[in-house]
Amino acid sequence: MRKIAFLMALLMSCIGLQAQEYYINLHQSGQVTYQNNVNEIQNMSFQGNNPSSLLINTSSGTNTFPITAFDSITFVLQNPPQPGDAVTISFNGSAVSINNPYANSGVTVSNNGANVTVNSTKAGVSYVVTGSSTNGSLTIYSNSNYALTLNSLSLTSNTTAAINLATVNNVILTLEGSSSIVDNANSSLKAALQSSGNLTINGIGTLQVTGNAKHGINVDGTLTVNGGNINITETDSDGIHGNSNVIWNGGTLNIAAAGSDGLDVSGDVTIQDGNLEIHTNAESARGIKVSGVFTMEDGSLDINCTGVDSKDIKADSLMFINGGILDLEHSGDMSKGIKTDRDLTINGGNITIVSSGSTVMETVNNQNVPAYCSAIKSDANIIINGGTFNINLPTTNHGGKGISCDGTMTINGGDFTIETHGNGAAYTVTGNTKDSYTSACLRSDGDMVLNAGTFNFTSTGTGGKGIKVGTSSNSAKLTIGTVNGNNDDLTLNVTTTGERITVTSGGGGPWGGGGDYANPKGIKSRGNLTINSGVIRVNCTQTQNEGGECIESKAILTINGGDIEAYSKKDDAVNASSQLILNGGTYYAHSDANDGTDSNGTMQINGGFLISNGAAAPEEGFDCDWNQFKITGSTAIGTGGGTSDPTTNVCTQPSLKINTQSGYAIQILKSDGTVICTYKCPTISGGGGGWPGPGGGSGGLVMLFTSPLLQTGQSYYIKYGGTISGGTNWNGYYTGNVTYSGGNQTNAFTINSMYQTVSAQ
């Protein structure tokens, strides 16, 4: 820390100097990797732990240098190399003016018209190139590292690359003024600017590049950009092609019309800072294509790909997004915003993605397979620890996904707003085999774990899902919230409004059905679904067809905690295929036309505060298809046209079945007048109407009530048909200073068993 403090004091003192001859140099392994006039620097600072980076703010932007990117800093009382100590090459049409102070020291400069060739055996030579030519070029061969400055150069070649750094060296390229380079379409080289070794770009100038033969810039070694403004206006292929690594520490990049990929790198890409803007309309093009690891620490990316099967950012290996601003857009069919073949880890950043392309059917192994246009996709796992996400899939995107992975998705934090608006569709897989595709805000084939974060999901297209986990052949698990977690750590809001998709038609039976449908769902897991904590709101009240559950598990649904509310219009609010276990939390489920809470297998109520409203008969507040229904704890109220009866030989807490009327105010009291419960029954509708059985018929309602305050051997009575005033109302349940007026009351009754029926109508 003493060394860092001393360095900062030195930097500040030098920046305060008014002498215009002061320059700052950053060095790495004896080479100058960055140079700038002190007068161009507004301020300098360190950031991160220990620290991790040096920030140099200039009039043209911020340059960020990892501490490991330089090993020393020097200040010099002189200008950059001048004609007296640098090789200067000045183009003038078909002629060239050369000043070579090292002609007798190993540097040979020759020219054929305006085509200049340098051969050097001298180390550390500086070359300054200026002027203009429409039929010139520069080729440098050197045995050692050197520096090259482009100072307002305009160079077009009619035979080859404009600039060819032909040997494997470390080259420091400094941009001054406004320069432009153009190669010839018949060039045997790969780019307008060709570098066979490592290339570092510095400065505050501008370089405009046109690549007619292939790429704009091709670097066989590592490309490091510390500053400058690079504009690549047109290329036959990639804007920048790197055969090793790319490190972007500052400056700007603008690729306007790449013929293929914007930035194509065979090694790793690390973006520390800078502003990169890339636009491409080529089919199967990538804004940024990385064969190795992609890491973004800071800076900004603005990428727009319009070609079919395009990707804004594509990594064949791991991807890490730790910060910065990503503004991505893609509109081609099957396109992706962020795509990785391996794990994707996001620790921060501000990510905005518009994914507007559609789904295309492909033939794989003689079967039709949908290929989606999605915002973020990993073929492996996704881990998100933070960041802000704004993702929009408009109506043109049919079946796409907001964030999707083939493996496990784990989210430990972040702020997510995801909307999907396109319709799904049914399709023929092969022969008579039918299937469907639908959009989803979050989608994983493997397990999904949502530990913390703020999630706002909206899906308006047919069959759309807020969250979908697992496949038809993979019973993956969904876990929401942490055990003993704080509800404030996770907020999940899901709204679905789309209709169902008919895959195969059917019918018959009192409920209809018999066909195969792709239904809209708020939250769906093919395997076990566990909710431990969080504030969860799921709204499916705009759907018009049966099948639109709010929360559904195709296996076991367990609720251990959380603040949960689920509203459904046409189907169950909450549904489990094999078992439903309610252990804790605050829980409200409501359906206008079906069960409030439904298990197709067994049901257990062990704890929590629960209210579940179903529709008229045959729908129920709590429905477990007459399988085992075990109650051991909780304050729970279920209302509907009927109820599944608790299984008395496994229950350890008594419950009441109260036959009453829709909309009635109910108050349950002990014989000494102690209030046990004050509740306003909902006005139910839908269901079977006059379906036979208890509670059936117009106005009939069944209320199932259980509470630790109910005890066998104790006497109780019920008031009904009156009015409630005062107190605090939560979905019909009143607490606090409540007044119950008028109505009638039952005779006193004693609870003699774990399940007892009472009439209050």
Residue of 341, 346, 477, 318 whose CA lies nearest to 406: 341
Q: Quick check: 548 pLDDT over 80?
A: yes
H or E segment and range at residue 95: strand 95-99
Report the run of H or E that residue 551 belongs to, with start and end: strand 551-553
pLDDT at 509 exceeding the cut of 50: no
pLDDT at residue 653 is higher than 50: yes
pLDDT of residue 83: 46
Q: In sequence order, what are the residues at sequence separation of 6 or more whose Cβ sits closer than 8 angstroms to the Cβ of residue 215?
A: 190, 191, 192, 235, 236, 237, 238, 239, 240, 241
Residue bearing the bigger pLDDT, 177 or 47: 177
- pLDDT at res. 216: 97
Is-contact 153 132, C-beta < 8 A? Answer: yes
Identify which has the larger pLDDT, 82 or 738: 738
Give the confidence band of 696 by pLDDT, cuts at 50, 70, 90. very low
Q: d(Cα 155, Cα 151) in Å, to the nearest integer? A: 11
Indicate whether 589 pLDDT > 60.
yes
Task: Give residue for tokens 């306007």.
Answer: 256
Is the pLDDT reported for residue 2 higher than 50? Answer: no
CA–CA dist 90, 100 (Å, integer): 12
pLDDT in tens, 209-252: 999 999 999 999 999 999 999 999 999 999 999 999 999 999 99
Sorting pLDDT into bands at 50, 70 and 90, what band is 724? very high
**pLDDT at residue number 416:** 98
Confidence of residue 693 (pLDDT cuts 50, 70, 90): very low
pLDDT value for 34: 72
Query: Could you tell me if 325 and 300 are in contact, meaning their C-beta atoms sit under 8 angstroms apart?
Result: yes
A 10 A CB-CB count for 181 gives 25
Stated pTM of the model:
0.89
Consecutive H or E run containing 565: strand 563-568
Mean confidence (pLDDT) of the chain: 91
Q: How confident is the model at residue 614 (pLDDT cuts 50, 70, 90)?
A: very high
Mean pLDDT of 40-60: 75
Poorest-pLDDT segment among 78-82, 544-548, 682-686: 78-82
Q: For 480-493, how does the pLDDT look when each residue is reduced to its tens digit (9 = 90+)? A: 999 999 999 999 99
Which tens digits make up the pLDDT trace of 413-469?
A: 999 999 999 999 999 999 889 999 999 999 999 999 999 999 999 999 999 999 999
SS3 annotation, 642-708: ECCCCCCCCCCCCEEEEEEECCCEEEEEECCCCEEEEEECCCCCCCCCCCCCCCCCCCEEEEEEECC
Look at residue 60 in the predicted model and tell me its pLDDT: 58
Q: What is the pLDDT of residue 511?
A: 44
Confidence grade of residue 74 (pLDDT, cut at 50, 70, 90):
confident
- What pLDDT sits at residue 77? 55
* pLDDT tens-place string over residues 363-374: 999 999 999 999
85-99 pLDDT, tens digit per residue, is 899 999 999 999 999
How far is C-alpha 489 from the chain's CA centre?
18
Predicted confidence (pLDDT) at residue 642 exceeds the cutoff of 90: yes
Q: How confident is the model at residue 615 (pLDDT cuts 50, 70, 90)?
A: very high
Give pLDDT, residue 3.
42
pLDDT digits (tens, 9 = 90+) for 250-308: 999 999 978 899 999 999 999 999 999 999 999 999 999 999 999 999 999 999 999 99
Burial of 187 (0-12, 13-18, 19+ CB in 10 A): buried
Can you tell me the mean pLDDT for 303-328?
Answer: 97
Q: Which residue has the higher pLDDT, 63 or 446?
A: 446
Residue range 109-127: average pLDDT? 97
pLDDT at position 506 is 66
Which helix (H) or strand (E) segment holds residue 371: the answer is: strand 367-371
Helix, strand or coil for residue 91? strand
50 pLDDT more than 50: yes
Region 169-174 average pLDDT: 96
Question: Is the distance from CB of 342 to CB of 294 less than 8 angstroms?
Answer: no
The answer, yes or no, to whether residue 649 has pLDDT greater than 90, is yes
